[in-house]
Amino acid sequence: MNDHIIKVENLVKRFGKLVAVDNISFSVAAGEIFGLLGPNGAGKTTTINILCTLTRPTSGQATIAGLDVVRQQSQVRRLIGLVFQDPSLDERLSGLQNLRFHGLVYGVPAAVREPRMEQLLRMVELWDKRHHKVQTYSGGMKRRLELARGLLHHPKVLFLDEPTLGLDPQTRNRIWEYILELREREGTTIFLTTHYMDEAEKADRIAIIDYGKLIAMDTPEKLKKMVGRDIISVKTDDNDKASTEIKLRYQIEARYDGDGLSFEVANGEEFLPTFLKEFGTRILRVSLRRPSLDDVFLKLTGREIREEEVSDTFRAMIRQHGRRMRR
Amino acid sequence: MNHLRGVYTIWYRDILRFWHDRMRLVGSITFPLLFLFVFGSGLSARMGVLGPGVDFTQFIFPGIIGMTVLMSSFMAGVSVVWDREFGFLKEVLVAPISRAAVAAGKTLGSATIALLQGMVILLFAPLIGVSLSVGTVLTLLPLMFLLAVSLGSLGVLMATRIRSMEAFQAAMQMLMFPMVFLSGAFFPVQGLPTWMNVLVKVNPATYGITPIRQVVLGADPSSPYAISLFGQTLTIWNEVAMLAIFGITMILLAIWSFGNQE
Ligand SMILES: Nc1ncnc2c1ncn2[C@@H]1O[C@H](COP(=O)(O)OP(=O)(O)OP(=O)(O)O)[C@@H](O)[C@H]1O
Ligand SMILES: [Mg+2]
């Protein structure tokens, strides 16, 4: 895990006066799942576009497996796979033809390509629809096809720009199972953006970007610790007595909370077993709530990530119906 | 090797799309055939003889072939703009094939389709009393192909700079029709008013359509189909060379411009 497959140093991208990416630096280890989080317009897609050679940075440097994304574009392109935020399929061709085209441009030999196409289409449950034109697919089916396509040529680094946008929960789960398996089996590095906090939790490390600047980068665990402590809610046969005892034993002030008590501890998972042993059968109910990534996001950006969900649905709608609106 | 694979794949996809959409073939030859038969039949009697034993319909026939090829080859540009609009261009641009291969593949794809459409028009020759030998057809194919590749590259070049479909189509119409009308496709180019003569002579399509006519109707330098430049009557080879220079310039510009776009 020590060799860094993605290295970004002082990366800047300006669009006229707008600084879309503002001097960011980070690196991603081989085999890592790295999540880039941030509100709309924060610069996530722009960062990915630079890393995948589609956009030239204004200044700064980025390398993938030691290859410069500006000067060694074609070698970089061979190593990466992409699922774009916006649709990128040929709707006039069938699902199978889209995959075959991809296999051809990436030079995957037919003997490898054809079986793998089948395997991937079965995984995303589009095998039965493989001869249908993509035009006739639903939004979710198109997304699944794009994902299958991104995996066809065994990329070393897979960029996923909001890969599960607009997908139903079952499909999201299945895709995540596959992503995790892929990392396990082939050591693929995964660079991902998402607005879903439960997905972000699956990342090994998360970077939060806002107005083009990186404002935090760590494991989900540590980020959550940064914003606050774990909250334990407990109901006992005698709350008053328990409250006094908690104060005596742990020097913690408990609050009355509904029909029980709640109090904060630094490390809930370690605290809970001791607590249970000492209070034993007097506990009627106990729960541990940890600060979520939502709390982290809110604290760091001043915006709630859930606000994005409305616009997510809206954008999913545009993806399916209004493609000519976009340029 | 890599380049060839890229060119082939891009070409293959455009052909595949065309094949899915075969009705396009019918649509795109309707207009030229209307021109040929309506204008031809309507005007032939009045126009009399335009060359040795050649009536108006027969005179414009090679022009119609040229027009069909020219209009169809611009589709290379449409296809690039279309791909950009629908997002597919990104899939192509992040793939490990060179931008030059993409530009070349697009041009060759539309040139192939243009050639096919030109050949369909050729099938109508017997109907208007033009006899074509196998040798004539085999000479025509490379001429049509050169015209198609030259103008297809121009289309791709335009598509790298004009990003919206509406704007591209407007620009294309603005260029395509003057190119067809001022190429001598529909009238002999001798004795034209000076302004028109200049426009005809700077129009690259002239050097694509004139040799097609000379191959179909006769290449005698004294025939009324020849064109002259600075007092010199051009041979077919001269014309082909002019078009080739234009074509190569366009291909190089298209490749360069394609590689430089974001
Ligand atoms: N081609 C462009 N020209 C001009 N401005 C651009 C361009 N692409 C992006 N921007 C601007 O750069 C900023 C960052 O955009 P980017 O697409 O990277 O955001 P994002 O983090 O991916 O947002 P989202 O969550 O909405 O996808 C935005 O303000 C956007 O308007
Ligand atoms: Mg984005």
Structure tokens given for A135: 């035009």
> Can you tell me which residue has the tokens 């080879």?
B237
Question: Cβ distance B210 to B184 under 8 Å?
Answer: yes
As a whole number of angstroms, the distance between CA B107 and CA B130 comes to: 31
Interface contact B93-A54, CB threshold 8 A? yes
CB contact burial A249-285 (16+ within 10 A = b; e otherwise):
eeeeebeeeeebbbbbbeebeebbeebeeebeeebee
* Mutation site, A50, A88, A325, interface B, largest B CB count within 10 A: A88
**How many whole angstroms separate alpha carbon B41 and alpha carbon B85?**
42
Whole-angstrom distance, CA of residue B158 vs CA of residue B80: 10
B74 φ, ψ to 5°?
A: -60, -20
Could you tell me the two tokens for B194? 């000076």
> Tell me, what's the pLDDT at A317?
53
- CB-CB neighbours of B260 under 10 Å: 9
Q: Model-level pTM greater than 0.80? A: yes
Mean pLDDT in runs of 10 for chain A (327 residues)?
84 95 96 94 96 95 96 93 94 95 94 95 93 94 93 94 87 86 90 90 94 92 82 88 88 84 85 87 86 78 57 52 41
Structure tokens given for A311: 């616009």
Q: Which two tokens stand for residue B155?
A: 């289309």
Which residue puts its alpha carbon closest to atom 30 of ligand 1?
A41
Domain A229-290 CATH class label: alpha beta
Q: Report the gap between the CA of B178 and the closest CA in chain A (Å).
A: 30
Contacts of B46 (CB under 8 A, 6+ apart): none
CATH of A4-224+300-324, one of 3.50.50.60, 3.40.50.300, 3.40.50.1000, 3.40.1360.10: 3.40.50.300
pLDDT digits (tens, 9 = 90+) for B231-254: 788 888 999 999 999 999 999 999
CB B216 within 8 A of CB B136: yes
ipTM of the complex: 0.86
Of B9, B83, B87, nearest to A104 by CB-CB distance is B9
Mutate to test the interface with B, among A67, A92, A131 (most CBs of B within 10 A): A92
DSSP state of A252: -
B173 Cβ neighbours under 8 A, 6+ residues apart: none
Identify the DSSP state of A7: E
Residue at token pair 């000067």: A71
Domain ranges of chain A: 4-224+300-324, 229-290
Q: In the structure, what pLDDT confidence band is assigned to residue B1 with cuts at 50, 70 and 90? A: low
If phi over 0 gives left and psi between -120 and 50 gives alpha, with beta otherwise, what is residue A51?
Answer: alpha
Q: Is A20 in the pocket of ligand 1 (CB under 6 A)?
A: yes
- How much is the pLDDT for A116? 94
Which residues in B lie closer than 8 A to residue A323 (C-beta atoms)?
Answer: 85-87
A256 lines ligand 1 (CB under 6 A): no
- Whether B20 sits inside 8 A of A93 (CB atoms) is yes
Helix, strand, or coil (residue A148) = helix
Q: What is the pLDDT of residue A325?
A: 39
Distance CA B131, CA B114 (A): 22
pLDDT of B187 over the 90 cut: no
Burial A288-323 (b: 16+ CB within 10 A, else e): eeebbbebbbbebbeeebeebeeebeebbebbbeee
Own/partner pairs for A61-66, CB < 8 Å, 24+ apart? A61/A7, A61/A8, A61/A9, A61/A10, A61/A11, A62/A6, A62/A7, A62/A8, A62/A9, A62/A11, A63/A6, A63/A7, A64/A5, A64/A6, A64/A157, A65/A5, A65/A156, A65/A157
Q: Which residues on chain B place their C-beta less than 8 Å from a C-beta of chain A?
A: 2, 5-6, 8-10, 12-13, 16-17, 20-21, 83, 85-88, 90-98, 163-164, 262
> What is the C-alpha separation between B145 and B236, in angstroms, rounded?
15
Please give the DSSP secondary-structure letter assigned to residue A154.
-
Output the pLDDT for position A315. 53
Give the pair of three-digit tokens for residue A175: 């895709």
> How do residues B83-98 score in pLDDT, each as one tens digit?
999 999 999 999 999 9
* Contact (CB, 8 A) for B104 and B252: no
The partner residue sitting opposite B96, judged by closest CB among A77, A82, A97, is: A77
- Bridging pattern class, strands A67-68 and A59-64: antiparallel
Looking up tokens 């020097």 gives A251
Q: How far is the CA of A79 from the centre of ligand 1 (A)?
A: 25
Q: Which ligand is nearest to the CA of A47?
A: 1
Residue ranges making up the domain that contains B105: 2-259
Q: Is A301 on the interface with B (CB under 8 A)?
A: no
How confident is the model over B115-173, as pLDDT tens digits?
A: 999 999 999 999 988 888 899 999 999 999 999 999 999 999 999 999 899 999 999 99
What are B13's two structure tokens? 């996809």
Residue A313: predicted pLDDT? 53
Give, as one character, the DSSP assignment of residue B235: P
Q: What is the pLDDT of residue A305?
A: 56
Nearest CA in chain B to A86: B87
Residues around ion ligand 2, judged by CB within 5 A, are: A 44-45, 85
Terminal C-alpha separation, chain A: 39
| Coil vs helix vs strand at B231 | coil
**Number of domains comprising chain B:** 1
Is the Cβ–Cβ distance between A6 and A123 less than 8 Å?
no
Q: Quote the DSSP letter at residue B226.
A: -
Helix (H, G, I), strand (E, B) or coil at B164: coil
pLDDT of residue B150: 96
If one counts every other C-beta atom within 10 angstroms of the C-beta of residue B12, the result is 16
Question: And the tokens for B85?
Answer: 């609009």
Residue type for A161, please?
Answer: D
Token pair listed for B235: 């041979």
A231 SS3 class: strand
Query: Which atom of ligand 1 is closest in space to residue A162's alpha carbon?
Result: 27
Answer for the pair A311, A271: CB distance below 8 angstroms, yes or no: no
CA-to-CA distance for B111 and B151, rounded, in angstroms? 9
Q: Would you tell me how many other CB atoms lie within 10 Å of the CB of residue B59?
A: 26
